[in-house]
Amino acid sequence: MSARVSRRRFLGASAAAAGGLVVGFHVPFASAAGAKGDAMPEINAWVLVRPDDTVVIRIARSEMGQGTLTGLAQLVAEELDCDWAKVTTEYPTPGQNLARSRVWGNFSTGGSRGIRDSHEYVRKGGATARTMLVQAAADGWRVPASECAAAASVITHAASGRRTTYGKVAAAAARVSPPTEVALKDPKDWKIAGKRLARLDTADKVTGAQIYGMDLRMPGMLNAAIKACPVFGGKLASFDDAAVAKRKGVKRVVRVGDNAVAVVADTWWRAKTALDALPVEWDYGANAKASSAAFANVLKAGLDASDAVVGNRVGDARAAIASAPRRIEAVYSYPHQNHATMEVMNATARWTAERCEVWTPTQNGEAALAAVSEAAQLPLAQCDVYKTLLGGGFGRRGASDWIRQAVLIARQMPGTPVKLIWSREEDMTQGRYHPVTQCKLVAGIDDKGNVTALHMRISGQSILAGVAPANIKDGKDPVVFQGLNPPGPESSFVYGIPNLLIDHAMRNPHVPPGFWRGVNLNQNTIYLECFVDEVAHATGQDPLALRRTLLAKSPKSLAVLNAVAARIGWDTPAPAGVYRGLAQTMGFGSYVAACAEVSVSPQGDLRIRRIVAATDCGYAVNPQQIEAQVEGSFAYGLSAALYGECTVKDGRIEQRNFDGYRVLRMDEMPAVETIVMPSGGFWGGVGEPTIAVAAPAVLNAIFAATGLRIRELPLKNHSLAKA
Amino acid sequence: MPTLTVNGKVRSFDAEPDTPLLWVLREQLGLTGTKYGCGVAQCGACTVLIDGAPMRSCVRPVSTVTPTQNVVTIEGLSARGTHPLQKAWVALDVPQCGFCQSGMIMAASVLLAAKPEPTDADIDAAMTNICRCGTYNRVRAAIKAAAQGGDARRAGLAIQHSDGSTT
């Protein structure tokens, strides 16, 4: 494989390095790499090498547990041919990215894109740096670079027996002109990428030394607790700061934008308790009486409304259904959910008339920088954002609402660093929620039980309408159709059905939506995969056999389905009292399938015993981390299936903490067997796709066990007891 | 000024009596390894030991901890992460985001102290902490690896470490 490199990109990087831009991240804690600017030549934007051969690899994407930091470092190190044992990492800041013409590309971390969208340019970064290091050694020895070889940070010249290390030639390499073209390795030759390597960021997480945004401390720092109007769209009317002004530690009570109030104190606990005691009046506005129950009726009406936008059309589904000898119909629904990251939203901001800096866990450093600039009323170049390790993201931290709040507070206290921490209650009730939708599915069946037509009508909330309305063209939010799109590389409908219509009637409640790990693939896969199961049972077909028929022209999907069927032993009976369910989907560029084994007691107690999941993500950069992601995706997806639901009453979210918003715990976690089966030739995502098959595999297994077809999530609202 | 004994040292602090122990540890004593997750004893991220018993420090008023009771946080569990659980956690790459892991390890340390060879049911009963990344199965494997007679390699993860070892 050969690939052209943008010469300007790497020249720009080197030129900027000469200006010393890499140094001085101003991050006031020891774990931040990169503070030692002395004697650490930057070979290019991605690679720095210290004289002791330590290699620092720059990571643009945010690490939130998904392992992207390690995976991206593996890709750079693979092409760099460096000693993996001496690799460390650091984040460039979005401000630096801006100053260097976005040399590190996109910082946004979501959509399972971390590796699949940047593998090529980070590998080129590594390959370019290797070429420059070898050239520097060759120049020093006055031999052609083509006679030199590099491995594990050691450069050798076989003919003369000479040998040096990356660290020794790094300073010279930084002055070498970058090559205009570099060849990338064939993945079959990988020695670092593709291996089951341990993560780079584990050690401090087991000793308490790891610093998260919430843990930051700075000289003179104050702490803020905040309360926003509990009804979305409502405003702050007034507050009585005199009532708390004399409490110990309280420094200020400040208005934050038009809908929130914050108490700033010496400690967060004092700020929080003062806020609890603060008399506040709200103007709840037009949504004061909104409820989930009322909105469910709006969604229901959308199932038969005439204002739908088409996302996928093959043949004439309406006509084919009308003329079919048999019709099968079902309606499903999926609720709002909170991301519930373990680390609540937080940001530390320091504002002066000249500069605004923010330290925060964010999935989107560049959007965060833009939010800081706007809230600070300062140009981008006078602002920066320092990313901290995220205590969970799941899409919530792609937004910047809490960052804006932190800056608005800090702006009222010039020069003082202020750390804003949300309470869990604030986090639960001020989320950016998984969109709520319903879906009506109608299938036309011929006399032989073949599915001749399918109409899926989705009625419900659009994420883009809430977060990026400019991206809605002709009334269409393309994200709504994840997993249901026409054939393509991203999130496609993979079944062969001759007449297909998938359309969406957009119905937006006042609850702000967000990208929630798995996004719309989650409920779309429940709708489709449970309905396919319904069709199989209604037509007397085996659920695996029907899927195999429908996937005849989708070999990658068929392969993952067959892999889970083989591993679970679909063709042999399950143990007594154990029942199986299947699901498959294509999302975020990958092909996945799962089989669940469950048992249900006569009293209705569900036990999810075992999950077998297969993933074809094209290339597997770190198989043991893919296994960890797949396993984790089932914890997330099964939390959603069993318990996940945020309901609205009087315009506000009712669930305020983990007692009202239950999530899966250890005693409910099934054994997960992950089959990683990369078939090559494409790059698919890993963090999200398998979430989508968790719920439908289990729901289909529950049907097999009980004959109960659950069509309204979550499961907690249903009894599985024998009638 | 009131005092606490934390990780073997007597420490003084400035906080109202009803302040949760968690916030004294984090804000007064600088021990930020103990995490705030919920504030209502649901998630376990704030788990510490008081005289060897697990305690959700987010709901324990600091005034109810006597100066002589021994509070142990994740920072005091071992010198430089050498507790068998910490070693097993590293061997099996348990943490994802890592935020809940201090509480997980503290809870597991109590379990192992009481039951050196815990069964799955013992683990289920003792480990009620919430992890949103979904590390539960690796947590279980690491507890078994750290238990008496345990071996990280039995988890079958075949993780390659930079020191050349494989677990």
Contact A657 B19 (CB under 8 A): no
Confidence of residue B15 (pLDDT cuts 50, 70, 90): very high
Q: Whole-angstrom Cα distance, residue B55 to residue B24? A: 14
What's the fold here for domain B3-76?
Ubiquitin-like (UB roll) (3.10.20)
B159 and A196 in contact by Cβ < 8 A? yes
pLDDT > 70 fraction of chain A, expressed in percent and rounded? 95
CB contact under 8 A, B97 and A389: yes
- Domain locations along chain B: 3-76, 79-155
Q: Output the 3-class SS for A195-214.
A: CCECCCCCHHHHCCCCCEHH
Interface of A with B in 317-356 (CB under 8 A): 340-344
Choice among A30-39, A521-530, A533-542, A714-723 with the minimum mean pLDDT = A30-39
Q: Is A88 on the interface with B (CB under 8 A)?
A: no
Which candidate in B133, B143, B163 is best for mutational testing of the A interface (most A CBs within 10 A)?
B133
Q: Report pLDDT for A604.
A: 97
Q: Is the pLDDT of residue B78 over 70?
A: yes
8 A C-beta contact, residue A577 and residue A599:
yes
Q: How sure is the predictor about A39, in pLDDT bands with cuts at 50, 70 and 90?
A: low
| Residues from chain A contacting residue B34 (CB–CB below 8 Å) | 208
What is the secondary structure of A508-528 as a DSSP string?
--SSPB---TTHHHHHHHHHH
Average pLDDT estimate for B5-24: 98
Residues 6+ apart with CB under 8 A from A292: A335, A336, A436, A647, A648, A649
- Å between A298 CA and nearest CA of chain B: 32
**pLDDT given at position A23:** 25
> How high is the pLDDT of residue A41?
86
Nearest-Cα distance to chain B for A74, in Å, is 12
CB-based contact B127 A267, cutoff 8 Å: no
Q: State whether A208 and B138 contact (CB < 8 Å).
A: no
Does the CB of A661 have a partner CB in chain B at under 8 Å?
no
Nearest to A210 among B89, B98, B158 (CB): B98
Q: What b-and-e string marks burial along A87-107, b requiring 16 or more CB atoms within 10 Å of the CB? A: bebbbbbbbbbbbbeebbeeb
- The SS3 call for residue A12 is helix
What is the value of ipTM here, to two decimals?
Answer: 0.98
Contact A43, A32 (CB under 8 A): no
A699 vs A525, A566, A682, CA distance in Å?
Answer: 12, 20, 31
Please give the CATH architecture assigned to the domain spanning B79-155: Orthogonal Bundle (1.10)
Average pLDDT of A240-253? 98
- Residues A672-702 as b/e (b if ≥16 CB within 10 A, e otherwise) read bbbbbebeeebbbbbbbbbbbbbbbbbbbbb
Contact A326, A451 (CB under 8 A): no
Domains plus CATH for chain A?
A: 2-197 (3.30.365.10), 213-285+345-421 (3.30.365.10), 292-336+433-717 (3.30.365.10)
Interface test with B, best of A54, A207, A389, A428 (most B CBs within 10 A): A207
Give the nearest chain A residue to B120 (CA atoms): A667
Residue A516 forms contact with B (CB below 8 Å) = no
For chain A, what percent of residues have pLDDT higher than 90?
A: 94
Instruction: Tell me whether residues A195 and B160 touch, CB distance under 8 A.
Output: yes
Distance between CA atoms of A468 and A460, rounded to whole angstroms? 17
Say whether B31 and A636 touch across the interface (CB within 8 A): no
Rounded Cα gap, residues A658 and A427, in angstroms: 11
- Element spanning B106, H or E: helix B101-114
CB of A152 within 8 Å of any CB in chain B?
Answer: no
Q: What's the predicted TM-score (pTM) here?
A: 0.95
pLDDT at A291: 98
Tell me: the pLDDT tens digits for A634-680?
999 999 999 999 999 999 999 999 999 999 999 999 999 999 999 99
* pLDDT at residue number A40: 77
Average pLDDT, chain A: 94
The whole-angstrom separation of Cα B103 and Cα B135 is 13
Query: Nearest-CA residue of chain B relative to A668?
Result: B124
Is the dihedral angle over the CA atoms A596, A601, A606, A610 positive or is it negative?
A: negative
Q: Which of A201, A203, A628 sits opposite B138 (nearest CB)?
A: A628
At A710, the amino acid letter reads: I
Q: How far is A392 from chain B (nearest CA, A)?
A: 6
Residue A139 confidence (pLDDT): 98
- What would the pLDDT profile of A326-360 be if each residue is shown by its tens digit? 999 999 999 999 999 999 999 999 999 999 999 99
Give B-chain residues touching A211 at CB under 8 angstroms.
Answer: 32
The CA distance from A203 to the nearest CA of chain B, in Å, is 7
Measure the CA–CA gap between A645 and A335, rounded to whole angstroms: 6
Put simply, the answer to whether B36 touches A628 (Cβ < 8 Å) is no
Of B30, B97, B163, the CB nearest to A64: B97
Chain A positions in Cβ-Cβ contact with residue B139 (cut-off 8 Å): 666
Which chain B residue shows the shortest CA-CA distance from A622? Answer: B159
Looking at the partner chain, which of B33, B77, B130 has a beta carbon nearest the beta carbon of A658?
Answer: B130
Number of helices (H), then strands (E), belonging to chain A: the values are: 17, 29
As beta bridge partners, residue B95 has none
A216-245 pLDDT, tens per residue? Answer: 999 999 999 999 999 999 999 999 999 999
Contact A334, A522 (CB under 8 A): yes
**pLDDT band at A22, cuts 50/70/90?**
very low
Q: Which among B28, B97, B157 has the least Cβ separation from residue A342?
A: B97
Taking CB atoms within 8 Å and a gap of at least 24, the contacts of A316-322 are: A316/A499, A317/A444, A317/A453, A317/A454, A317/A455, A317/A499, A317/A500, A317/A501, A318/A455, A318/A501, A319/A499, A320/A444, A320/A452, A320/A453, A320/A498, A320/A499, A321/A442, A321/A443, A321/A444, A321/A453, A321/A455, A321/A499, A322/A444
Cα A187 to Cα A80, A190, A679, distances in angstroms: 14, 5, 12
Which of A84, A197, A636 faces B132 most closely, judged by CB atoms?
A636
DSSP state of A373: H
- Residue A499 reports pLDDT greater than 60: yes
pLDDT of residue A722: 87
* Mean pLDDT for the stretch of residues B120-149: 98
Residue A37 is predicted with a pLDDT of 45
B19, B99, B134 ranked by CB distance to A634: nearest: B134
B162–A84 CB contact, under 8 Å: yes
